[in-house]
Chain A
Amino acid sequence: MLKILLPTIMLVPTIWAVPAKYLWSTTLSYSLIISLISLTWLKSSAESGWSFLNPYMATDPLSTPLLALTCWLLPLMILASQNHTAPEPISRQRTYITLLTSLQIFLIMAFSATEVIMFYIMFEATLIPTLVIITRWGNQTERLNAGTYFLFYTLAGSLPLLVALLLLQNNTGTLSLLTLQYTPSMQLSSFADKLWWAGCLLAFLVKMPLYGAHLWLPKAHVEAPIAGSMVLAAVLLKLGGYGMMRMMIMLEPLTKELSYPFIIFALWGVIMTGSICLRQTDLKSLIAYSSVSHMGLVAAGILIQTSWGFTGALILMIAHGLTSSALFCLANTNYERTHSRTMILARGLQMVLPLMTAWWFIASLANLALPPLPNLMGELMIITSLFHWSWWTIALTGGGTLITAGYSLYMFLMTQRGPLPAHIISLDPTHSREHLLMALHLLPLILLISKPELIWGWTA
């Protein structure tokens, strides 16, 4: 555990000590080495229990894929940010990488925490660097509004969680994830218990985000710089899904009935946000709304509480993390060339950037869940477990897949196909850096096809 955490912490002094000339290459290779070492977590000898245990941290099949994803994302963020921070003074560049690194530190501690309260603290701690990334490094004045939305939605959702956790500590005497699942189930019947149930889940549902509490997400994504969008879509949203899966064990008897409205919201959100995507003119906003739609499916899969639901949700979280992050990177390559997020202004890019089109195509296909990509495995498992619960869900999930295919290909056709407008004939050629970035996003996704057990969580 500390083999990863300590090097990550030591990355901070390295950032400030390394000569300016080698700043980006050093941090990139350093973080990439960390992420490669983190892959050893995936090979855990314990069948279903905890491994790499220390007094405060451990990994289990649920957190390992998310941890590996977290570590994998830092080098990618560094790669993606290199171009747009280049004109800034060197100290600011160092600050920026430090922020990204601090985010990884908090996220590792959040995902590997064995105490719920430590998870909670780290969950909140990730807000700070993210807020700074959005409001300091965003491009437009709306970034301040986006930052406010981001902060207050998440805070308002998570303060009840603190109260609920203190209550839980009072009742059971422990908040350790190692023992919590063995505590005798509580007698939960009163109205206050139902409020407690809601308090336990609200923070995560806002973070996912559940449809209805999702307003902060498109704003944050649109205004954040590329690294912010990437980490938000790839990992921070997954904190919500992870937290929900952890809490679900304790909420057992109540969830069965209380989760109905939330499942309905989540599934209805798939349709609604998908429809919004069909009308988007703003590329980043489209990808952000598509995230809401996919995370709705994840939320429904978790709330249904079957092993297929959990497995599907975890697979979809990992697959969606890589896919949406890749899409944001692609959107950013367009943005860095045309300085606009409006799709209609950058059409027919296949003519000028043909290899980029291949990445766009693979990423769009992953977004619409083409078999046998992990995205499909996840969606299929969630759809099946929802279907087992109620046949009517197929109308919403099936409609969702239809709309998802529609807007993913709309995005692809809109940006890559069609005639090339006259104003973008002199674009920068693509850099190897950008192709490397895309390859590092999509190769893991493709390789996971051959061994999906790695991201299957408890049922593997």
Chain B
Amino acid sequence: MAKMIKLVSGDGAEFEVEEEVAFQSKIIKDIVADADDVIPLPTVSSKVLIQVIEYCRKHAAVNSFPLSPSSSAAAAASSSSSISYSKPVSDPALRAWDNEFVKLNNSSLFDIVIAANYLDIEELVDLVLETVADRIKGKQAQEIRRQFNIENDFTPEEEEALRRENSWAFQNN
């Protein structure tokens, strides 16, 4: 019988998950090492936690039966650097699943970024960050505001001053 861990979301919902699923989160792995099987996650809502558990469940299933030496080597290698992109998931079916998983609106996507970052689930962090980065790349500030539905809180003077100060960073200026 697989060992179960209970995760409690910010809004009080409880989720029982297999240990190997929960351990995709380094934070949870560390806490459980101190012999606590009920883990409160006050900053994660149940809606987000459900999605995160879904991801972890899918990836735990794959990791316990590595398809090839290269996929487990990739998993081992990706734990080193914190800034680089992780090595791409080598199983094409899993990659396809991941691509479907991140077809989310901005609000849901951002919630998962924050939760995955907090829970330290490396592959999920890389996946969602890559998606966010793709939505930012090459856009000017105004386009980014439109993309993510952000109010322009600068006064026109402030915006002009900042634009002037930072115009040096843009090649075609």
> Is B one of A's binding partners?
no
